Amino acid sequence: MNPFVSRITNHQTWVVPVSALSLVLGFMIVMVSASTAPTRLRSLDPDLRSRLATRDTPLDNQAVVPQKDAEISKLRTQLTTLQNALATETEKSNAAKVLNATLQDTKFYAGLTEVQGPGVLVTLTDGYSADKDDSKLNSQAGDAGAPPATEDVIHDQDILRVVNELYAAGAEAVSINNLRLVGTSSVRCVGPTVLIDGVRIASPIKIRAVGDTDTLMGGLRMPGGIIDELRSVSPRMVTIEPVKNMTLPGYAGPTTRHYVKLVKAEK
């Protein structure tokens, strides 16, 4: 007879139930700890987390996109030229001119044309790229006083808030890294970069806005605003400069429509 078994059955009646339930307990503990494995970035939303995690991914198809965009811009400029030419060609009728003027106005409003004017240039830079200290990302401890790794990165929200502020201060045309913003534009983050209308951009992010320089500067410098907030993290993350004259490119993205049907005006 196995002495082990006999010992249990004789006077150690507690061992078996306790063991059984401690098996359950071990199961529970691992279940809880494994499924809530702490990550220091848990408070971030998943999108930001993945962006930080895959910060070093190379930007693929970076070469193709600007090429195609340039082509589109060129074609659209050409279209404007041709429309103007057509209007001047048929100089006899005033109607063509008026129509063209309206057309060009609408095209400006849609952001399809290149525009010029005074305004501001806001440059947002990731804090880390300035001091070339990528190890700060990995070591949570870091040196005392330095902002946490997640804070000195330019997020899509920062860009959105700057753009929002610019529009609120009366900006008439805004571009981010030479990508013109239009009504359907989106700013979101994927991986280590920010997507503007599906085009990847990365720090430094240059936001140009055409409008009244003083009003725009005033809007941006509002206490408690986004610029204030970014500067409090690291002063070198933001620079604002007034620009006397600059050229913003036209929107180079797609304008095809698949679902919208135009409603005909009633007679």
Q: Is 18 helix (H, G, I), strand (E, B) or coil?
A: helix
CB environment 63-73: b (16+ within 10 A), e (fewer)? eeeeeebeebb
Which range in 8-16, 71-79, 143-151, 224-232 contacts other proteins by CB under 8 A? Answer: 8-16
Which position among 1, 10, 14, 138 is part of the footprint of other proteins (CB under 8 A)?
14
Sheet of 179-180: strands edge to edge? Answer: 179-180, 173-176, 205-210, 115-124, 238-248
Q: What is the largest CA-CA distance in the chain?
A: 118
The answer to whether 250 and 104 are in contact (CB under 8 A) is no
180 exposure class (CB count in 10 Å sphere: 0-12, 13-18, 19+): buried
Say whether residue 94 binds other proteins (CB under 8 A): no
CA distance 50 to 246: 36
| Residue 17 within binding range of other proteins, rule CB under 8 A | yes
Question: Closest separation between CB of residue 1 and other proteins, Å?
Answer: 17
Residue 31 interacts with other proteins (CB under 8 A): yes or no: yes
Give the shortest CB-31-to-other proteins separation in angstroms: 5
Stretch that binds other proteins, among 33-41, 91-99, 167-175, 187-195 (CB under 8 A): 33-41
Provide the b/e sequence for 237-248 (b: ≥16 CB within 10 Å): bbeeeeeeebeb
Which lies closer to other proteins via its Cβ, residue 41 or residue 146? Answer: 41
For other proteins, the binding residues in 34-93 under the rule CB under 8 A are: 34-36
103-119 burial, b for 16+ CB within 10 Å, e for fewer?
A: ebeebeeebbbebebbb
Give the residue, chosen from 1, 3, 9, 25, that forms a contact with other proteins under the rule CB under 8 A.
25
Segment interacting with other proteins (CB under 8 A) among 21-29, 107-115, 158-166, 173-181: 21-29
Q: Which of 9, 15, 89, 221 binds other proteins (CB under 8 A)?
A: 15
Which of 9, 30, 68, 90 binds other proteins (CB under 8 A)? It is: 30
**Interface with other proteins (CB under 8 A):** 7-8, 12-15, 17-32, 34-36
